[in-house]
């Protein structure tokens, strides 16, 4: 069971992608709570040239930095909108991809991440999703 604040974050991510969904272009939404308690959202930017695509978490992070001038992540979550032909119409929580795990860790190594867990969801520290992360230092 998620806390009320975490559920509020999931709802914000769902609302973001429900509002901006476009098949093949915007299919994932993300929401993050900053260290000061404010919520920002983002949706992914897919691209004809696949390597130019940007994940929803990165867009939300960009919003946090650009719009709020904040840099710390309390909690972050991403959700995926189903495609038109999919029988399951639920907008479900998805785990951040490897690149986003790096990005989240870089901005806040104590960030909490809401991830799927069996039929439900759970909250884990970003470090648990990225053991032995790459570092130029040896001390991480």
Burial of 128 (0-12, 13-18, 19+ CB in 10 A): exposed
Q: How many residues bind Zn ion (CB under 5 A)?
A: 3
Task: State in angstroms the smallest separation of the CB of 128 from Zn ion.
Answer: 17
**What residues does 63 pair with on adjacent strands?**
none
Check binding of 126 to Zn ion (CB under 5 A).
Answer: no
Tell me phi and psi for residue 63, to 5 degrees.
-65, -45
User: Is 70 designated active site?
Assistant: no
Check binding of 123 to Zn ion (CB under 5 A).
Answer: no
DSSP one-letter code for 87: S
Residues in 55-74 at the binding interface with Zn ion, rule: CB under 5 A: 55
Spell out the alpha helix ranges (H) of the chain.
4-20, 56-63, 98-107
Compute the chain's Rg from CA coordinates: 15
Q: How many helices (H) and strands (E) does the chain have?
A: 3, 6
Nearer to Zn ion, 33 or 101 (CB): 101
Out of 13, 100, 129, 130, name the contact with Zn ion by CB under 5 A: 100
| Per annotation, catalytic residue among 15, 27, 57, 86 | 57
Binding part of the chain for Zn ion, among 14-22, 68-76, 98-106, 115-123 by CB under 5 A, reads 98-106
Check binding of 97 to Zn ion (CB under 5 A).
Answer: yes
**CA atoms of 136 and 15, how far apart (whole Å):** 38
Task: State in angstroms the smallest separation of the CB of 95 from Zn ion.
Answer: 9
Task: State in angstroms the smallest separation of the CB of 1 from Zn ion.
Answer: 26
Q: Binding residues for Zn ion, per CB under 5 A?
A: 55, 97, 100
Catalytic residues: 57
């Amino acid at each position: 069971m998620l806390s009320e604040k975490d559920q509020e974050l999931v709802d914000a991510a769902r609302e973001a992608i429900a509002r901006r969904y476009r098949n093949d272009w915007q299919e994932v939404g993300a929401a993050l709570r900053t260290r000061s308690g404010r919520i920002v959202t983002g949706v992914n930017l897919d691209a004809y040239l696949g390597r130019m695509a940007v994940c929803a978490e990165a867009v939300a992070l960009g919003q946090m930095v650009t719009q709020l001038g904040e840099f710390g992540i309390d909690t972050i979550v991403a959700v995926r909108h189903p495609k038109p032909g999919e029988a399951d119409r639920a907008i479900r929580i998805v785990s951040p991809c490897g690149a986003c795990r790096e990005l989240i860790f870089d901005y806040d190594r104590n960030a909490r991440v809401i991830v799927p867990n069996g039929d439900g969801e759970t909250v884990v520290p970003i470090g648990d999703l990225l053991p032995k992360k790459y570092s130029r230092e040896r001390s991480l």
